[in-house]
Amino acid sequence: MKLPKPKVLISERRIRKRVAELGNQISSDYEDQDLTVIFISTGAVIFASDLVRNISLPIQIDSISASSYTGIKSSGRVKVDSRLKIDIRGKNVLIVDDILDSGRTLLKIMGALKREKPADIRICVLLDKASKRVGQIRPDYSGFSIPDVFVYGYGLDYDGYCRNLPCVAFLEK
């Protein structure tokens, strides 16, 4: 596999600082409450694992797997497996994803989770590509707003690779 030379969009240091801020904000917003974090694999695995260690609340963690990209293009069709291991009825749910792009993935996941009757659902994403939005959806917590470029690293893949890159890199058009 020939990988591109990474062009840094968001450095490891900026990510670490912002993830700590998000964790503190979430900890104070849900003060004295329990939280169920549901991260969307595979892309959110790195962000979620850093984020939860910055949250000082009693939390449970579960995951949902979703995919819409083939290669570096979105197929527009979202595949979601929303079977959870834990019961979220009456719980405060925080969905954690790597990036909010068109919004199709999280709209589909929100619909599936609402049927399980949680008390509350909020969304936390590391990256927000707001210019690409098609559906009515906004993140409650967002790390960085980014322009319409293809990004990878820190959990996001470049055709299956590069999720282990510690920064967020981008491809020039």
**83 to each of 18, 30, 134, 135, how far by Cα in Å?**
30, 25, 25, 23
- Residue 88's binding partner, choosing from Mg ion, ligand IMP, none, with beta-carbon cut-off 5 to 8 A by kind? none
Q: C-beta of 17: minimal distance to ligand IMP in Å?
A: 22
Interface contacts to ligand IMP, rule CB under 6 A: 40, 43, 68-69, 74, 78, 97-105, 150-152, 156
CB 127 within 8 A of CB 144: yes
Contact of residue 68 among ligand IMP, Mg ion, none (CB under 5-8 Å per partner type): ligand IMP
Total residues in contact with Mg ion, by rule CB under 5 A: 1
Side by side, which strands form the sheet with 59-70? Answer: 73-81, 59-70, 35-41, 92-100, 120-128, 141-145
**Least separation, in Å, of the C-beta of 171 and ligand IMP?**
8
> Residue 139, interface with Mg ion (CB under 5 A)?
no
Q: Is 138 helix (H, G, I), strand (E, B) or coil?
A: coil
Binding mask 5-44 toward Mg ion (x if CB under 5 A, else -) reads --------------------------------------x-
Task: Write out the two tokens for 55.
Answer: 């949250």
Would you please indicate which residues are annotated as catalytic (active-site) residues?
A: 101
In order, the DSSP letters of 58-102 are -EEEEEEEEEEEETTEEEEEEEEE---SS--TT-EEEEEEEEESS
Smaller CB separation from Mg ion, 52 or 157: 157
42 cis-preceded (ω within 30 degrees of 0): yes
Judged by beta carbon distances under 5 to 8 A according to partner kind, the member of ligand IMP, Mg ion, none in contact with residue 48 is none
Asked if 103 is part of the footprint of Mg ion (rule: CB under 5 A), the reply reads no
- Residue 69 touches which of ligand IMP, Mg ion, none (Cβ within 5-8 Å per kind): ligand IMP
36 neighbors 52 (Cβ within 8 angstroms): no
Residues at the site binding Mg ion, with contacts judged by CB under 5 A? 43
